[in-house]
Amino acid sequence: MPADLPKRILIGRALRSDKLGETLLPKRIALPVFASDALSSVAYAPEEILLTLSVAGVSAIHFSWQIGIVVAVVMLAVVASYRQNVHAYPSGGGDYEVATVNHGPNSGLVVASALMVDYVLTVAVSTTSGVANVVSAVPSLRGHEMGISITLVILLMGMNLRGVRESGGAFAVPTYAFMFGITGMIGYGLVRDVFFGSDMPAESAGFQLQALPGDEGLAGFALVFLLLKAFSSGCAALTGVEAISNGVPAFRKPKSKNAATTLLMMAVFAVVMFMGIIYLARLTGAQMAEEPSQLVGAPADYHQKTALAQISEAVFSNFTPGFYFIAAVTGLILVLAANTAFNGFPVLGSILAQDRYLPRQLHTRGDRLAFSNGIILLAGAAILFIVAFNADPTRLIQLYIVGVFVSFNMSQSGMIRHWTRLLRTEQDSKKRAQMQRSRAINAFGLVMTMAVLIVVLATKIGHAWIAIAAMVVLFVMMKAIRKHYDRVSRELVAAEEPDDVVLPTRVHAIVLVSKLHKPALRALAYARLTRAHTLEAVTVNVDPSDTEALRREWDERGIEVPLKVLDSPFREVTGPVLDYVKNLRRSSPRDVVAVYIPEYVVGHWYEHLLHNQSALRLKGRLLFKPGVMVTSVPWQLESSERRKPQKAWSAPGAVRRGEPRPQRVESRTSASASNASNPSKDADS
């Protein structure tokens, strides 16, 4: 059975690099892949507006449709701006690239930090919100929210590890079902109202909504502040809009045109669904209250349903299956909205890794041509947030939208600079008019998103500081990573003149032995084959009787290589070897010391615990010594041979007088600047 069979079953057969074009997305698949977050936001954004306005009682509810219009205008302005982004910056860098090019690297890192935090929170909020909806319908699951949320994150991670195209196909049906369900509900409600004049009261329509104590009769600045707060809450509908600009490389050609079209499709559906739900909320009289005491006339055991559930129950009062369909697709889309982050975060991480702000492993595609390391990192970070906040969506959502509106502001201002720079050199009047129009759209978007950000920070700073702190930590970490990579690059740059390279004068080879067994004899044979200037075997005198037995056998076999015995009063192996190597380097600084370590290769994970530990510690110390080369000479045990058949050679006679040297050897060499060897390949010395 192949060793990687479980991996193949979970994520599928590995794809060749030249198959990358086959994984690119058509618009019909790209829409659910990249827009599920923005589309699902309409399920809770109208409810957030109603909840915020409920503080002032029923007198403020009539402002909901005006606020909805403003949110829709902002969304259209932001989408129009991002349509310009995908044409001007199609590499997939999105807001990060716009800010970096137009404001500088530090601004780009601010945007990148904000987006990465927002992506992590998107996964955490979406999964916990979906689970909360399921638990409210199936009370027997209460108390298991964290386990279910973590399981969902792992399932989403696994689906995305199978590749963007496969995950997109899996998520397309639920996303389109949600779009069909919501638009169908809006159309059905309009038909019942306009053509049949049906009365469709929500279950909360008969209750009297009162203001919270101290908030009665809001006017002037207090009312304006409340409306702004409701507006900022409704702007949760804008989360996920930026994902398409970060995913342009995943589109089929022409990439920019297809991405811009997908953005427009997303905006049209999102605005229609958002405004339609607000219209139905007013039509059905649905009310939401922050405190149960606000709903006068409600039963003592009244459990408040979500706004969308109340609306769908009222609209489909004569068609119960419609209500259950809306409930099912809404819960599903809230969970699958996390898929937007699973497509945006890895691409952004890959670009940051290419710019040396994140580990280079994030730039590597996995077996299925997805950025596997980024997908796994996102899942791990989201699970940490879920655990830290006990899978409570109410607490997690307070951290939400700060990051995305930081990136909105930096992107909009960057695009204004972009158009201003182009206008300085553009002479064509038609192109200048188009650029000026685009700049005006970006300027309007900047004003609106800046207002949202200010209101969010002013009203949610008690919780938003956690997201801000996470952004600061990411910013500092990425700066440190870039500094490290730059320093390493300067150290490793090749000299311009070959004469500048100081070559070693001699190579002093050392073979570490503890017993005169087959692995030790193979290491001696290989060391002789390398023809070092001097060669000696070294053992550490931990047990005098064992050392004396080794001496006798060495002489009896007539081995030409001299045996050096190092004293160890405290029965420690690593220290005496390090001191000996250090003395050799001190006496001849221009010499290279080559240390050969015999190793066992085992076939089972549990055998690693029984072998290679002392060699691993010694190797880890030697690799940090300048002028020291560490070579591992493997000896395959029978367990490894059973896992992967391989003809081994034995070299006991290769070091005896008058006998020929072996014709084939196997080795694994690590220079002193490399990382420590895999512990599973180190053997006792």
Tally of domains within the chain? 2
β-strand pairing of 295-296 with 507-512: unpaired
pLDDT at 370: 64
Do 541 and 426 sit in the same domain of this protein?
A: no
- The encoded tokens of residue 576 equal 């005496």
Residue 8 falls within a domain, yes or no? no
Residues 243 and 299 in one domain: yes
Q: What phi and psi values does residue 647 have, to the nearest 5 degrees?
A: -75, 120
Structural domain range at position 675: 503-681
CA distance 399 to 416: 28
Contact 635, 522 (CB under 8 A): yes
Are residues 174 and 298 part of one domain? yes
pLDDT of 475? 94
Residues 135 and 276 in one domain: yes
For residue 658, the SS3 value is: coil
Q: Does residue 461 belong to any structural domain of this protein?
A: yes
End-to-end CA distance of the chain: 33
Q: Is the peptide bond before 254 cis (omega within 30 degrees of 0)?
A: yes
3-class SS of residue 129: helix
Residue-by-residue DSSP string for 314-329: HHTTT-HHHHHHHHHH
pLDDT score for 667: 40
The rounded Cα 53 to chain-centroid distance in angstroms is: 36
Q: What are phi and psi of 51, to 5 degrees?
A: -65, -40
- Residues 475, 524, single domain; the answer is no
Question: Considering the domain boundaries, does residue 3 fall inside one?
Answer: no
Phi and psi at residue 625, to the nearest 5°: -90, 125
Domain end (from 439, 460, 486): 486
Length, in residues, of the chain: 685
pTM, two decimals, is 0.68
Helix axes 27-40, 105-137, angle to 10 degrees: 80
State phi, psi for 304 to the nearest 5 degrees.
-70, 120
The C-alpha atoms of residue 142 and residue 136 are separated, in whole angstroms, by 8
Residue 498: inside a domain, yes or no? Answer: no
Give residue for tokens 């056998």: 553
- Contact partners, residue 271, CB within 8 Å, separation at least 6: 72, 75, 76
Q: Kindly give the parts of the chain with pLDDT less than 50.
A: 1-5, 7, 9, 15-22, 165, 500, 645-685
Domain co-membership, 288 together with 372: yes
For the record, the structure tokens of 183 come out as: 């638009």
The answer to whether position 426 is within a domain reads: yes
Decide which of 456, 486, 516 is a domain's last residue.
486
CATH assignment at residue 165: 1.20.1740.10
* Shared domain check, 450 and 579: no
* Domain presence at residue 4: no
Tokens of 577: 């070897």
Q: Are residues 532 and 471 in the same domain?
A: no
Q: What is the 3-state secondary structure (H, E, C) of 223-275?
A: HHHHHHHHHHHHHHHHCCCCHHHHCHHHECCCHHHHHHHHHHHHHHHHHHHHH
116 three-class SS: helix
Residue at 168 is within a domain = yes
H/E element holding 222?
helix 221-234
Check: CB of residue 544 under 8 Å from CB of residue 520.
no
Instruction: With CA atoms as reference, report the closest residue to 128 among 393, 340, 341, 331.
Output: 393
Q: Which of 486, 518, 552 is the last residue of a domain?
A: 486
Structure confidence at residue 110 (pLDDT): 92
- Flag whether 494 is in a domain: no
Residue 520 contacts by C-beta under 8 Å, 6 or more apart in sequence?
A: 511, 513, 514, 537, 598
530 to 547, 631, 670: CA distances (angstroms)? 27, 11, 15
339 contacts: CB under 8 Å, gap ≥ 6: 33, 36, 37, 156, 159, 160, 167, 171
Same domain for 447 and 508? no
Residue-level pLDDT at 564: 92
Nearest to 448 by CA among 417, 409, 418, 411: 409
What is the DSSP-derived secondary structure letter of residue 61?
G
- Are 417 and 548 in a shared domain? no
Clarify whether residues 472 and 583 are in a common domain. no
